Structure 1
């Protein structure tokens, strides 16, 4: 499988962001990619919630989703659209939803981010994703011509039970689109994603936002492709760019055969706390 990874600096103008996604689809196809992976919040990044809300639509009316579906069909390429901010969440909130789109432009799967980023960082950054977004409630995997793809988004990567569920369901590739902060990226991005690949015996493809955005935030970049042994096959560093990586999917069976940890998994009951 040849994967293209779109590392970008999404801004506050949905039309401009949609045009960049369409261009990435065409460039990915020209580079021989089977599937394009894009970051979390590919259609809009705006921490000014009042301003951003004016641009957030229902799924049926979202311009980025419509544009990518049309571009995928025209190019004949699969796209994992990492996520979009969409209306229609519980309690009047938005949803952070990813899509898998096939080479006819059809939506094969949807995933709403389960774990929401509500943190106060030592740098003074404070994030309350749950104030604007409703959490998803179900894990999702989807069959592709290259294997079963398990879906997740950004902060999900800190919760290994999700990836256990996805690998137990047969996922051999794990998508982790993100808009990671710089402080947490420097500390944890590589080690967490390598751990998820090793635990699951699966490839990890993590398309990331990068650089300084129009709304003032900074994201870490370093989009990664990691093999099931935990080796980094691609690290895109900080520049906005389109990267390509060839994934030898035979590595999954090889690694799982060498260290059959998935076969050794056991259900863990209540913890006994000794006095």
Structure 2
């Protein structure tokens, strides 16, 4: 097992797919030029649009998605593994998927993941979100193979559901991914502790590219893209909400060491729940 350089691309996606492609491409090229072999973009890289009607007019089927097509070209040109944290993808039945893609250095799509947990919440500051009104939730947890290790795929709100990541770690994933568009309010309260907790309890790296700042559709996202080590330490952070990149070395041997020190996965036992 050899180490590699991972990068998070932090974006401020707008209502314009074309503008978002240009922003993402510039940052991806910066990351590759800095030595990144794996580059991850945030949730909803192709568009952030609160209006369902406007969203439906601007997104396409997977086969026609312009950002996905450009990402495939970039991965092949730059010779990198490019992880589209997620794109809004029109489905044939009229619904929408919040779908992540892992693209190989030949431009081929290696894995797809549809966000399982929908962010249906009413926050104390008056924000209200109902992702289930627009998006069809996924049903499968995905572990993908990189040349250096196995990688678990998830998106944003999934971070609050530890069972996904435990199942991925049990399947051998030494790196977990949680690209996000975390709200500013919940991010300030919980972003770092949730990312670190998922790393600690699974002895795995966590790589999470984020959206940041005030977006064209009015939402505010937290930023602070993170790469967490398997002992729970923050090894790289973009400590603001502006677009940019952050890189770190990922060494699969460190995950193995963490799991040997605290063998929580090996020690885990089934149990019965009694009472109500």
Q: String of CA shifts for 1:27-83, please: whole Å, max 9, x gaps.
A: 222111111011000001111221121111010000000001001101111111100
Contact conserved, 2:75 with 2:106, CA < 8 A, in 1? yes
**In the alignment, which residue of structure 2 is the partner of 1:136?**
138
- Are 2:19 and 1:19 aligned? no
SS at match of 2:91: coil
1: distance between equivalents of 2:191 and 2:24?
Answer: 24
Cα deviation, residue 218, structure 1: 0.5
Identify which of 163, 173, 192 aligns with 2:165.
Answer: 163
Q: Which runs of 5+ in 1 are unaligned?
A: none
Residues of 2 paired with 1:119 and 1:141: CA distance? 28
How many corresponding residue pairs?
Answer: 272
State the TM-score, normalized to the length of structure 1.
0.96
Give SS of 2:173's match: coil
Structure 2 partner of 1:217 = 219
Match of 1:77 in 2: 80
Q: Name the CA distance, whole Å, in 2 between partners of 1:215 and 1:189.
A: 22
Cα distance in 2 for partners of 1:4, 1:195 equals 21
Partner of 2:53: 50
Aligned to 2:244: 241
- Local SS of the residue matching 1:17: helix
Q: 1:92: how far off?
A: 2.8
In structure 2, which of residues 164, 172, 175 is the aligned counterpart of residue 173 of structure 1? Answer: 175
In the aligned structure 2, how far is the partner of 1:247 from the partner of 1:167? 16
Aligned Cα RMSD in Å?
A: 1.1
1:66 to 69, 77, 86: 69
Distance 1:225 1:55 in 2: 32
Number of the residue aligned with 1:199: 201
Deviation, structure 1 residue 4: 1.3
Shift of 1:24: 2.4
TM-score (norm 2): 0.96
How big is the shift at 1:154? 0.3
Post-superposition offset of 1:249:
2.3
Q: Which of the numbers 104, 108, 111 marks the counterpart of 1:109?
A: 111
Tell me which residue corresponds to 2:265.
Answer: 262
The Cα shift of 1:23 comes to 2.0
Q: Which runs of 5+ in 2 are unaligned?
A: none
8 A Cα contact 1:25 1:68, kept in partner: no
Q: Which runs of 4+ in 1 moved over 3 A?
A: none
| Contact 1:25 1:72 (8 Å CA) reproduced | no
Residue 194 of structure 2 aligns to a residue whose secondary structure is helix
Does the CA-based 8 Å contact 1:21-1:68 persist in structure 2?
A: no
Q: CA deviation at 1:25?
A: 2.5
